[in-house]
């Protein structure tokens, strides 16, 4: 594939039942093909066309399918202080910094290499980011691996090392739609999480942890994503909140993972379960997808709430909130973040 400015490689991996495609431009998941209950295949992630060019991915602003780093989500005032030194970031969302500013990892070309081992096939992307990149300290070496096994599990693995203390909270920004089209409002969601972070009028966490019981955020029993979504006021205007996992105050970033939740499509019979070793999951229901100026796959415009994201990682604005789980990586440490999406037909 050729773009206007760079040669891009698209990798496609399969386990014989499920397949996914990812490109080295932004470590981007472009397709995820899953069989419906009747055996017909359906693409369950949003994306742009990837024929003769990748214009949509180059110009798009919704981070569709892409890697997000160094720090996913919002940082208040676009600044933080680390070890006594103040760092200033891009103010790309009002006075705040979103997804690390204007120069995003999703617009970078990475090095990709495929592998097959022990019933697992995947691709690993690597890249070096110098000290001062995006305004953050530390030379950072990053590895992002997407792999598929015979149990129909798609794993996202993020690893990194630094030579100087730096904030780090990576995630992938895929929009899932198990119907394969339309919006996600009729799809069923169930979460093991009973708590979420309160946000202010700028969508910055206030520091308060809220009990979700009997609220629009209560998915302790499976219910439609759209059942109470319109009760959530602006500026979120839908789900764009960080939910706490069972690992919130335990072994975050270790080998232990927990089940966060699942979604299910009655239309296709596809179920997707989500597992992670991270403290939080930002659920974003695509509330502003219809503002995306670049057309999606097949030249079709994106639909409001046409996909739902499960952005695993640290809490938003953790660098400015001492009570939140630590997101600082130091030179004697290795960053390890793992998320698994398990697919089945019910």
Contact 285, 231 (CB under 8 A): no
Say how far apart CA 185 and CA 166 lie, in whole Å.
38
Say how far apart CA 39 and CA 308 lie, in whole Å.
23
Number of residues assigned to the chain: 346
The closest alpha carbon to 130, from 103, 170, 90, belongs to 103
Catalytic annotation present for 262: no
The sign of the dihedral angle between the CA atoms of 259, 260, 266, 271 is: negative
Q: Is the peptide bond before 336 cis (omega within 30 degrees of 0)?
A: no
- Please name the residues in contact with 234: beta carbons below 8 A apart, sequence gap of 6 or more: none
Q: What is the pLDDT along the chain (346 residues), one digit of tens a residue?
A: 444 446 899 999 999 999 999 999 999 999 999 999 999 999 999 999 998 889 999 999 999 999 999 999 999 999 999 999 999 999 999 999 999 999 999 999 999 999 999 999 999 999 999 999 999 999 999 999 999 999 999 999 999 999 999 999 999 999 999 999 999 999 999 999 999 999 999 999 999 999 999 999 999 999 999 999 999 999 999 999 999 999 987 778 888 999 999 999 999 999 999 999 999 999 999 999 999 999 999 999 999 999 999 999 999 999 999 999 999 999 999 999 999 999 998 7
State the catalytic residue, choosing from 99, 173, 262, 303: 173
Q: What is the predicted pLDDT for the residue at 6?
A: 60
Q: Which residues of 160-177 are buried (b: 16+ CB within 10 A; e: fewer)?
A: bbbeebbbbbbbbbbbbb
CB-based burial of residue 149 (10 Å sphere; 0-12 exposed, 13-18 middle, 19+ buried)? middle
Q: The whole model's pTM is what?
A: 0.96
3-state secondary structure of 123: strand
Q: What is the predicted pLDDT for the residue at 4?
A: 42
Using CA atoms, how far residue 189 sits from 36, 76, 176, 263, 294, in Å, is 18, 30, 12, 4, 29
Using CA atoms, how far residue 301 sits from 162, 215, 284, in Å, is 40, 32, 19
- Fill in the DSSP letter of residue 301: P
Contact 122, 146 (CB under 8 A): yes
For residue 318, how far is the Cα from the chain centroid?
17
Catalytic annotation present for 311: yes
């Amino acid at each position: 594939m050729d773009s206007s400015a760079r040669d891009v490689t698209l990798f496609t991996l399969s386990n014989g039942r499920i397949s996914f495609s990812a490109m080295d431009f932004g470590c981007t998941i472009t397709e995820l093909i899953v069989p419906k209950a009747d055996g017909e295949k359906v693409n369950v992630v949003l994306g742009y066309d990837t024929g003769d060019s990748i214009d949509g991915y180059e110009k798009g602003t919704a981070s569709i399918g892409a890697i997000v780093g160094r720090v996913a989500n919002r940082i208040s005032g676009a600044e933080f202080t680390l070890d006594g030194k103040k760092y200033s970031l891009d103010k790309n969302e009002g006075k705040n910094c979103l997804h690390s500013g204007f120069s995003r990892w999703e617009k970078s070309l990475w090095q990709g290499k495929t592998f097959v081992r022990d019933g697992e096939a995947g691709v690993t992307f690597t890249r070096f980011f110098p000290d001062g990149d995006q305004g953050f300290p530390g030379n950072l070496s990053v590895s992002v691996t997407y792999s598929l096994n015979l149990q129909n599990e798609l794993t996202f693995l993020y690893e990194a090392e630094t030579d100087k203390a730096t904030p780090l909270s990576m995630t992938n920004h895929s929009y899932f739609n198990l119907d394969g089209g339309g919006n996600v409002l009729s799809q069923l969601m169930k979460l093991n999480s009973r708590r979420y972070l309160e946000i202010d009028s700028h969508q910055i966490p206030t520091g308060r942890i809220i009990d979700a019981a009997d609220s629009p955020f209560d998915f302790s029993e499976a219910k439609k994503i759209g059942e109470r979504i319109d009760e959530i006021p602006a500026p979120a205007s839908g789900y764009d909140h960080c939910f706490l996992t069972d690992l919130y105050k335990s072994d975050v970033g270790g080998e232990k993972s927990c089940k966060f939740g699942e979604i299910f499509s009655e239309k296709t019979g596809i179920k997707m379960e989500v597992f992670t070793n991270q403290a939080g999951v930002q659920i974003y229901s695509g509330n502003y997808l219809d503002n995306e100026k670049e057309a999606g796959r097949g030249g079709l415009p994106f639909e409001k709430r046409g996909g739902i994201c499960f952005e695993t990682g640290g809490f938003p604005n953790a660098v400015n909130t001492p009570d939140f789980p630590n997101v600082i990586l130091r030179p004697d440490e290795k960053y390890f973040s793992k998320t698994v999406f398990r697919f089945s037909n019910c």
